[in-house]
Amino acid sequence: MIARPQKHQLSGRLIVVGGQCRKVGKTTLIVDIIRATPDLRWTAVKITPHAESHCPINGSDCKCGPAEHTFSIYEEVDRSGRTGTSRYLLAGAQRSLWVQTKDDRVQDVLAPLAATLNDSQNVIVESDALVKFWRPAIFFMVLDSRMPDFKASAREVLPLADAFVFRSPSPQPIGPSAQGGEGRPSFLQPIGKPLPPELQAFLMHPFGLLAHPM
């Protein structure tokens, strides 16, 4: 079992959202959380690991070595909603960052990212890998039994999840029951539906606040 990391390096509170695979609704959950909690003045971050052949700075045509150009941090300014990081701003985030790393080099960006987030009161991050290094107040794992794919990286950090958000009902949930998920909170929120009141209340607990009425 993966070891639970130590407290993160940020001055504010940290929430992390991971998911079993692409297109399972991680970005949507973050957008819903930002919209439901406008008083928390979120800084939202999307971390995208790339294959080692893809340079986060210069793209796939770069001939850099595995230990060169291992990450980039891009501040989103577009509020059109065309990209995930743009959707964060459209939902009401104060700042939105896109972090690209080479695969298995997420640790390289931690110190620069912490410095970039130094003045952020509350941070919400879309990533599976971050919870290997920083311990958030809450780590949500998004699951959908209708989707056959389940990334190995998501399975690895599944035991670290504090709560599960299911996109569809399932009599035999994939993941939590087989990974020690019994007893941890689970919430059903199909995409397009508002945050369940119980999920809002769970989210607000680390902040010492009541859920924002929808």
Q: Are the C-beta atoms of residues 31 and 87 closer than 8 Å to each other?
A: yes
Q: Is the pLDDT of residue 211 over 50?
A: no
pTM: 0.88
Average pLDDT score over residue span 108-130: 94
Express each pLDDT in 164-201 by its tens digit: 999 998 655 444 444 445 678 999 999 999 999 999 99
Q: What's the pLDDT at 103?
A: 81
- Could you tell me the fold of the domain covering 13-207? Rossmann fold (3.40.50)
Please state, in angstroms and rounded to a whole number, the distance separating the CA atoms of residues 165 and 44: 19
Q: Could you tell me the pLDDT band of residue 3, with boundaries at 50, 70 and 90?
A: low
The DSSP secondary structure of 43-90, one letter per residue, reads EEEEEEEE-TTSBTTTBTT----TTSS-EEEEE----SSSSHHHHHHH
Phi/psi region, residue 113 (left: phi>0; alpha: psi -120 to 50; beta: rest), is alpha
Computed over every residue of the chain, the mean pLDDT equals 86
Do residues 91 and 136 make contact, with C-beta atoms less than 8 angstroms apart?
Answer: no
List the chain domain ranges: 13-207
